[in-house]
Structure 1
């Protein structure tokens, strides 16, 4: 086995060192991604005003709704690749990764068509304020013209992460982040081209990162090297990818749909509420960094080790990752809670914008440990081939209960803080259900079953 392969295999060596070594580049990569996403809003809010900031913010949950399903399928592909990589079944690794790329190309084209055509209809359905709607449509349409770039980028990153390489995507993300910020400053701050320019900057940076990842995969070690001639659908592998990825895709869509309903209710409080909550959502992204990186690390770690039939190692790694994620997420939550007014004001210093954003931050941030726990268990179960379980839990807790709560309670108590409480309440419910399942169910033999 080559030195490169031994570094990416998570079935041997110190458990905590393997997880931390994999999680740190993920954390830094997500940090840079969050920084350049935040740069969009900072530059738009400060140079184009609260109306433009609201336009960008109102599109966020809708973008995740459109993209989340396909990213979930890609996540399932990563589980399949990691499982066969851990079992050293290189023939199936090759077929799975080329099938995944073929799927990504198809999904990217489909998303472009849907996003461009459906943008006005969906944004109106969401109750986007009339004075914000034109800019929202422009931002949304331009963003989705680059669908194939961000779908393929996420797929390429998923392939690299599934074989244990989280460092290479970090390098490429740093480059694309720099490109995005420079273009934002040039197109928005200097030339004042409007919100469409912010979307264009994001698209260009995504193409840069996707091309860099693809270039590396064309030259990667033979086990997971990509060949353009081999990119096609292998039906047996496609079935496995869809079987593992469809629940994750539905789960992402469920979360996104619930958040779209939340956003629709926030929209009813006016553009200042939209701008303030949009600013908070960018800050909240930093709270999600340790959650995301450990959840993804655990998916890869568990999948590789269960593929190699190292069940006790998978369990020990799962417990360690959960603990790390909870501690780090809560520390970030406390920091955001304390400095919320200053952080929101960095996006737009209008007192109303700051008040709305601060209210949301101080309602939810101290409950980040619950969000961390739920996402880590979901990541573990996906890695174990049981992705239907987190889908059902989140369908019930994060969609049905959250939407019902908002629909009923806001009707009787039309106060925006009531909407904010939907998050910690539903995080609590999902954490209780996940804890019971994690302790009682036989999740380590998911592949055999």
Structure 2
């Protein structure tokens, strides 16, 4: 079956899983890496070190967000162009996105190093966590380009049906990272800096694999400078979809920073507990993101080709998969929450706090699945306004309002329940937007 048949004629379930499962597997490997990374950091048994790395998590998310401008924005445009049989234009968009990501990464490295002290203060560091956060931050800033660039080919390759090849690039980097983590963090006693260096080297390995696969496997994409000419409308489309997609991750950084700033008044152990909880919650979240991103080229292609009947069938199947997975996985994690937290840090205070935090997040995970489906749908269709609204909702404006109100009324309990309430509200908003824009 050629790629056009996969997008146009294959049964929905077969096309969906062929595109989505490699992305899900990539996310699972990334999840393993994140778990291993947190595990080895936690094995230092230094609460301030764990908290320092956790405080810098928004920086990593910021880089992913910037990569999404060209990765998701570009894939949205390319999917629709391929659906309209405009392969040459799609190739030019791919080249433009690749080199734009490189330029963006270099600029971000420079800006992050210049504004280092101010950003670390904004992230909520204190005297105890600053040395560790500063070390982690510096290495991540130096390697920003490698992280941002990796998001472009990993997303664009799926528009051509090369989901398995995209998976190979992601897995390679994660495996390199997993191998290097214990060496740098524990054996060489490099602590937070070692964790960051391992991450950067892992992304460098991914970039090399992606470049090789695009050159050898792709027939429609390019990383050549001669394929970088795009029209004004294509440029606008990349940014009108890429920026809302980026904002989604920026809001994730904002949400982590906001939550940490509220929690730090209750002690560094609460910040450390939340850092561990967010890693565990990725078990559900990253797989759900994998399904959503895996379906995105399928949605964009059929929207671009005008096959609305098939598009609606894909949406229904996507919702079924997301919600069913969220329910099943959340139940399992909720039952064994304390045991999962103890795998990272067997501290009674952290286990007790983390158990309540994680169960609150798991309660609203089906709502997150609904949000992901409609967010990726609007991105695939090039509908910037609803995509933007959802991007600034769940972990942005809606969370901020929930945090302010609930923290003032219920204190600590209100803080840890804020994301759950924000998820429910944003899911309702996503359904309203779908009805309005379908």
Larger deviation: 199-208 or 347-356?
Answer: 347-356
Give the aligned partner of residue 414 of structure 2. Answer: 418
> Alpha carbons of 1:212 and 1:345: their partners in 2 closer, same or farther (altered >3 Å)?
same
Give the aligned partner of residue 240 of structure 1. Answer: 237
> Alpha carbons of 1:229 and 1:48: their partners in 2 closer, same or farther (altered >3 Å)?
farther
Map residues 27-42 of structure 1 onto 2, 5 A cutoff: 27-42=24-39
Map residues 116-265 of structure 1 onto 2, 5 A cutoff: 116-231=113-228, 235-265=232-262
Give the aligned partner of residue 447 of structure 1. Answer: none
Pick aligned residue for 1:308 from 305, 309, 313? 305
Post-superposition offset of 1:166:
1.3
The CA distance in 2 between the partners of 1:336 and 1:216, in whole Å, is 36
Give the aligned partner of residue 430 of structure 1. Answer: 426
Whether the 8 Å CA contact 1:254–1:399 is kept in 2: the answer is yes
The CA distance in 1 between the partners of 2:69 and 2:227, in whole Å, is 23
Kindly provide the CA deviation profile for residues 318-361 of structure 1, in whole angstroms up to 9, marking residues without a partner as x: 11011101100121111111111111111111111111211101
Give the aligned partner of residue 91 of structure 1. Answer: 88
> Alpha carbons of 1:68 and 1:349: their partners in 2 closer, same or farther (altered >3 Å)?
same
TM-score by length of 1: 0.92
Give the aligned partner of residue 78 of structure 2. Answer: 81
Larger deviation: 233-242 or 269-278?
Answer: 233-242
Whether the 8 Å CA contact 1:128–1:264 is kept in 2: the answer is no
> Alpha carbons of 1:138 and 1:197: their partners in 2 closer, same or farther (altered >3 Å)?
same
Whether the 8 Å CA contact 1:280–1:361 is kept in 2: the answer is yes
SS for the counterpart of 1:47 is: coil
Give the aligned partner of residue 19 of structure 2. Answer: 22
The CA distance in 1 between the partners of 2:2 and 2:125, in whole Å, is 50
Tell me, yes or no, if structure 1 residue 361 matches structure 2 residue 361.
no
> Alpha carbons of 1:175 and 1:73: their partners in 2 closer, same or farther (altered >3 Å)?
closer
Pick aligned residue for 2:386 from 386, 389, 408? 389
Pick aligned residue for 2:52 from 52, 55, 62? 55
Post-superposition offset of 1:193:
1.6
- Name structure 1 gaps, 5 residues minimum: 444-449
Kindly provide the CA deviation profile for residues 257-282 of structure 1, in whole angstroms up to 9, marking residues without a partner as x: 23321221122222111111111111
> Alpha carbons of 1:204 and 1:233: their partners in 2 closer, same or farther (altered >3 Å)?
farther
Kindly provide the CA deviation profile for residues 65-105 of structure 1, in whole angstroms up to 9, marking residues without a partner as x: 35414424431111001111122211111111011112101
> Alpha carbons of 1:207 and 1:396: their partners in 2 closer, same or farther (altered >3 Å)?
closer
Post-superposition offset of 1:175:
2.2
Post-superposition offset of 1:392:
1.4
The CA distance in 2 between the partners of 1:233 and 1:307, in whole Å, is 18
RMSD: 1.9
Give the aligned partner of residue 294 of structure 1. Answer: 291
> Alpha carbons of 1:398 and 1:186: their partners in 2 closer, same or farther (altered >3 Å)?
closer
The CA distance in 2 between the partners of 1:116 and 1:48, in whole Å, is 29
Larger deviation: 275-284 or 66-75?
Answer: 66-75
Q: How many residues align?
A: 438
Post-superposition offset of 1:183:
0.8
Give the aligned partner of residue 446 of structure 1. Answer: none
Give the aligned partner of residue 3 of structure 2. Answer: 5
The CA distance in 1 between the partners of 2:398 and 2:167, in whole Å, is 37
> Alpha carbons of 1:72 and 1:286: their partners in 2 closer, same or farther (altered >3 Å)?
farther
The CA distance in 1 between the partners of 2:233 and 2:387, in whole Å, is 24
- Name structure 2 gaps, 5 residues minimum: none
The CA distance in 2 between the partners of 1:301 and 1:139, in whole Å, is 38
> Alpha carbons of 1:313 and 1:390: their partners in 2 closer, same or farther (altered >3 Å)?
same
> Alpha carbons of 1:61 and 1:330: their partners in 2 closer, same or farther (altered >3 Å)?
farther
Map residues 337-376 of structure 1 onto 2, 5 A cutoff: 337-376=334-373
Whether the 8 Å CA contact 1:83–1:307 is kept in 2: the answer is yes
Kindly provide the CA deviation profile for residues 406-437 of structure 1, in whole angstroms up to 9, marking residues without a partner as x: 2243234332x211111111111111121123
Post-superposition offset of 1:246:
2.2
Whether the 8 Å CA contact 1:73–1:249 is kept in 2: the answer is no
> Alpha carbons of 1:63 and 1:226: their partners in 2 closer, same or farther (altered >3 Å)?
closer
Give the aligned partner of residue 404 of structure 2. Answer: 407
> Alpha carbons of 1:408 and 1:128: their partners in 2 closer, same or farther (altered >3 Å)?
farther
Whether the 8 Å CA contact 1:255–1:394 is kept in 2: the answer is no
Whether the 8 Å CA contact 1:160–1:166 is kept in 2: the answer is yes
Whether the 8 Å CA contact 1:326–1:373 is kept in 2: the answer is yes
TM-score by length of 2: 0.94
The CA distance in 2 between the partners of 1:4 and 1:393, in whole Å, is 34
